[in-house]
Structure 1
Amino acid sequence: MSMIRGATARSDADGQRLRYRHPAETRRSAPDAVRPARGEALAQSDESRNRAAIEADHALMQEVAAGDRGAFARLMAIEAPRLTRFAAATLTDLAEAEEVVQEALVRLWQQAEAWQPNARLATWLHQVAYRLCIDRLRRRRPQIDIDGLDDTLEDDAPRADQEMIRADDVRRVRAALARLPDRQRIAIVLSHFQELPQAEAASVMAIGEHAYESLLARARRRVRQIIEQEEAAEGEAFEKGARG
């Protein structure tokens, strides 16, 4: 009995009772202690990568500010294709999208000397392109032509949200996106087509992260609703045809 009692509890020098801890308890508790440290390490890693990217952008912009056309050509090669995809998905018009990208890059060239390394270059360009797209959308009639949408978006562009779509629904999703209000469509494009982090996407749209998250959630729900309605209508039409 004394051996069992000694295994479960003992007295320290001050006479306080200390509970015996089985080694398995220690093993179970270890991951809980490790998780916060691991999360902090990941956050620091992301922050380091973002800071390194900002520094690289700043170095490139210093060359552009000095009038280095070769540096500007490298910048265009990196940023123009992605920016064009964003503008094309937003405007559903490739020609207009190319005009927007050209204007955004011209503004960057003109303001190169005043560039401040406060954010990613890609984020700044998306902000400019976003405002230019909104201006064009406001000048349009309410109806948006979606005929050219297939030509402006890559077939694998929606791959970032596989829960929202299936591979064979790409065209259906594109049509659904074109029916969304402008801001909802842009929120989806920034997140799933451009794959911007939430903070950067919110910055592009000049809203808070919480507001962007809510906007994106509403847009996703609306896309699902549109697709489900179309599928139901197609099912009813098929049944009528089969009965006829």
Structure 2
Amino acid sequence: MSIQQQWLVPHWPGLPVNIGVLSTTRRGGVSPAPYDDGMGGGGLNLGTHVGDQPHNVAHNRAILCEQLPNEPAWLSQVHGTAVANLADIKPQQVPDADASFTTMPGKVCVILTADCLPVLFCDKEGKTVGAAHAGWRGLAAGVLENTVDTMRAAGAGELMAWMGPAIGAYQFEVGGDVKQAFLNGALDDSGVRHVEAAFSLIDGKPGKFLCDIYALARYLLHRAGVKEVHGGEFCTVSNSGRFYSYRRDGVTGRQATLIWIK
């Protein structure tokens, strides 16, 4: 990955040249602590629901919009599986959804996160793009599969995906209920093996596991027929100087992962 203006431009082999992608960090904004950049400067918090002053968020969003063709289509993310078609979203509307897609140039799909997994989608012809918010609940409920199915129903060709910054495998401690939620969705013995491989017992903590959310997402994407999956190399919790993390800090900001057709 390269860094442009303190943000991340995904290294995404095969991405069509007419597709724009961007992943912000906590750097480069105006928000004070606890929404700052982790190094004493202003933070680029883009979330309106985390306690930051509205004028700070508005300023940060204006900074982001300087790099985009239009204002992103913000969502009210509820850890569900609903997928919004940006063609149906009216100006100033913020629908309850955890994914969006578009076939329209200039429309910007966006996901806000602070440990949950953002996943970007694009078909190889560069005609359809999408973005999904995959916390463990949404991931287990099928948000990625629903996004893929919805994009295909709208005419998308062969899809590929990129996984943005999320909580890493050595930081995501969960209980047996989380593991069971994914085992319940495993369709066969192969699926069970993939799910089992994504969880490891924690010594001295009976019933507690470390969960690799990237491995789970990769398995679910492959099962849905998305064979080219890139990204997944960052940990939001471990890198306090670059990313916001709810698991690490509690009260914190939100970074954005975005995709659009130029």
Verify same fold: TM over 0.5. Answer: no
More helix by share: 1
Larger RCO, structures 1/2 (Cα 8 Å, 6+ apart): 2
- TM-score, structure 2 as length reference: 0.26
More strand by share: 2
- TM-score, structure 1 as length reference: 0.27
Q: Please tell me whether Structure 1 or Structure 2 has the larger radius of gyration of its CA atoms.
A: 1
